[in-house]
Amino acid sequence: MSTLPGVGTRVLAAKVLDAVVHRGRSLKAELGKVLPQLPDPRDRALLEAMCFGALRQRARYDAALQLWLQKPLGDKDGELRALLLTGFAQIDAMGLPPHAALSVTVEAARALGRPHQAGMVNALLRRAQREGFPTADPAAAWPAWRRKKINLEWGDHAAAIFEASAHAAPLWLRVNRLQGTRDEYDARLHDAAIACAADDALPDALRIDSPVAVTALPGFAEGAASVQDGSAQQVADALSPAPGARVLDACAAPGGKAAHLLERDPALRLLALDVDPRRLNRVRETLARTGGVAEFRAVDAADVQAWWDGEPFDAVLLDAPCTATGIVRRQPDVLLHRTPEDLTSLIALQSRLLDSVWRVVRPGGVLVYATCSILKDENEFQVEAFLKRTPDARAEPLHAGYGHAAGPGRQRLPGERGMDGFFYARMLKLG
């Protein structure tokens, strides 16, 4: 491989994107394989930025390749096509100086065993530098079946949803109340020359609009702050358990919402469940860093007999598995992987989880159902069906600060107030 600095990083990025775009692999899983190969955190950040930038702007970059290539790339050209996407991302989404992107990416083509196509890579990148990219509807990156649902369900909001999902999200922080106030942490960020903004509707949140490595955040390793989108932080507000309440987090991984609840009230008696033991370990690690204390069980929350001791819960959080259509800007590869059959399976799983965990709520207790989806089948229609078949459940209203009215709940759409798309519904168990 070339000794030119940065070539190896581009090669790895091309291999990751090839696996994700052409072979249906998970971006998170592929990054997990290759990032440890890069000892320098700057290289790791560069690789991630190339992959995310290429996926978020895939509609525009695909349009450029279709327009500029006299002959489409073949089935065996997956790595080369992926490399071109990384090159486009460097020039466009990342705004790297051309000299830092062109020569290294061209050399990466040679390192991938394609010296005969290095000239084509050079020509395409230079054209992108000169002309910019053709206009493309960001909706084109969405599968037709999902695009149709968004247009039908959200009408005038659909274009904004597609546009917001094609751009990087700001970095939202949740300040740990156990270690200080938001104003105090704001001052620590200021001292570290990191600009941030507060949102009056989110008492623990600070938003950073320019990319910052978490390692640069003061006190991060000690749990002074955590990365959590503003929409996800509102879940704690929606649940609002009484002091010292018994709380169930039914699908707890990776643990941010459980940590938030415990930062607000360390006296909560919280049980965190997750069906995946490895993901449950992430919850343990999260709470160890932030100072929260909870019980943990690696079980299927829907299999109530396997884990419930018979003592009811005052408050239950069901942050249900979903299509993640509200967080495409954070997980752009979900557009490549989910199918209509996946949606059908997820709706059935959500329904089973709702029916099961409702059994453990005490009379007078509450359940908050939340997803990071914007599809009505997973959200308002799911909750409406649950209420119809559950006589002792009553929806409690949430105010407009949670987003648009959506049947018995509220829906935040991607990009609104800088947040992710999220659905919330709060239900009271009648006594």
- Of the three residues 211, 227, 243, the one that is the final residue of a domain is 227
Q: Indicate if the pLDDT at residue 246 is higher than 90.
A: yes
Alpha-carbon span 89 to 79, nearest angstrom: 15
- CATH value at residue 207: 3.30.70.1170
pLDDT at residue 2 is higher than 60: no
The pLDDT-based confidence of 3 (bands split at 50, 70, 90) is low
Please state the rounded mean pLDDT for residues 231-248. 98
Residues 348 and 384 placed together within one structural domain of the fold: yes
DSSP 8-state code for residue 70: S
What number is the average pLDDT over the span 54-65?
96
> What mean pLDDT is predicted for residues 418-425?
98
Q: What is the CA radius of gyration of the chain?
A: 23
Number of structural domains the chain divides into: 3
Task: Answer yes or no: is pLDDT of 190 > 90.
Answer: yes
Provide the CATH number for the domain around residue 121.
1.10.940.10
Model pLDDT, residue 169: 95
Six token digits for residue 32: 């997990």
Q: Is residue 18 part of a domain?
A: yes
Mean local confidence (pLDDT), 83-109: 93
**Of 90, 112, 136, at which residue does a domain stop?**
136
Encoded tokens for 316: 């239950």
- pLDDT computed for residue 81 by the predictor: 97
Asked whether residue 398 is assigned to any structural domain, the reply reads yes
322: annotated active-site residue: no
Are residues 269 and 337 located together in one domain of the fold?
A: yes
Examine residue 145 and state whether it is found in any structural domain, yes or no.
no
Task: Note whether residue 146 is domain-resident.
Answer: no
CATH number, domain of 405, equals: 3.40.50.150
Half-sphere exposure of 126 (CA within 13 A, CB side): 8
Residues 6+ apart with CB under 8 A from 159: 139
Q: Is residue 22 part of a domain?
A: yes
Question: 107-119 burial, b for 16+ CB within 10 Å, e for fewer?
Answer: bbbbbbebeebbe
Q: In this structure, are 220 and 355 located in the same domain?
A: no
Please, what is the average pLDDT of the chain? 96
Whether residue 94 is found in the same domain as residue 108: yes
With respect to residue 321, please indicate whether it lies within any of the assigned structural domains. Answer: yes
Residues 341 and 274 in one domain: yes
Q: What is the pLDDT of residues 251-301, one digit of tens each?
A: 999 999 999 999 999 999 999 999 999 999 999 999 999 999 999 999 999
Q: Is 340 exposed, middle or buried (0-12, 13-18, 19+ CB in 10 A)?
A: exposed
Residues 235, 223 share a domain = no
Same domain, 190 and 237: no
Specify whether 295 is located in the same domain as 389.
yes
* Whether pLDDT at 1 is above 70: no
Final residue belonging to a domain, choices 136, 161, 191: 136
- Of the candidates 51, 196, 322, 372, the residue annotated as catalytic is 372
Domain with 12, as residue range(s), is 7-136
Query: pLDDT-derived band of residue 179, with 50, 70 and 90 as boundaries?
Result: very high
Is 371 found in the same domain as 237? Answer: yes
**Top-confidence residue, 338 or 124:** 124
The two beta strands, 409-412 and 404-406, are antiparallel
* Residue 142 within any structural domain of the chain: no
Residues 77 and 21 in one domain: yes
Q: Evaluate whether residue 64 is within a structural domain.
A: yes
The residue whose two tokens read 């799911």 is 382
With cut-offs at 50, 70 and 90, classify the pLDDT of residue 189: very high
Looking at the structure, do residues 200 and 103 belong to the same domain, yes or no?
Answer: no
What residue ranges in 353-408 does DSSP mark as E strands? 361-371, 393-396, 404-406
Are 238 and 369 contained in the same domain?
Answer: yes
With a pLDDT cut of 90, the percent of the chain lying above it is 94
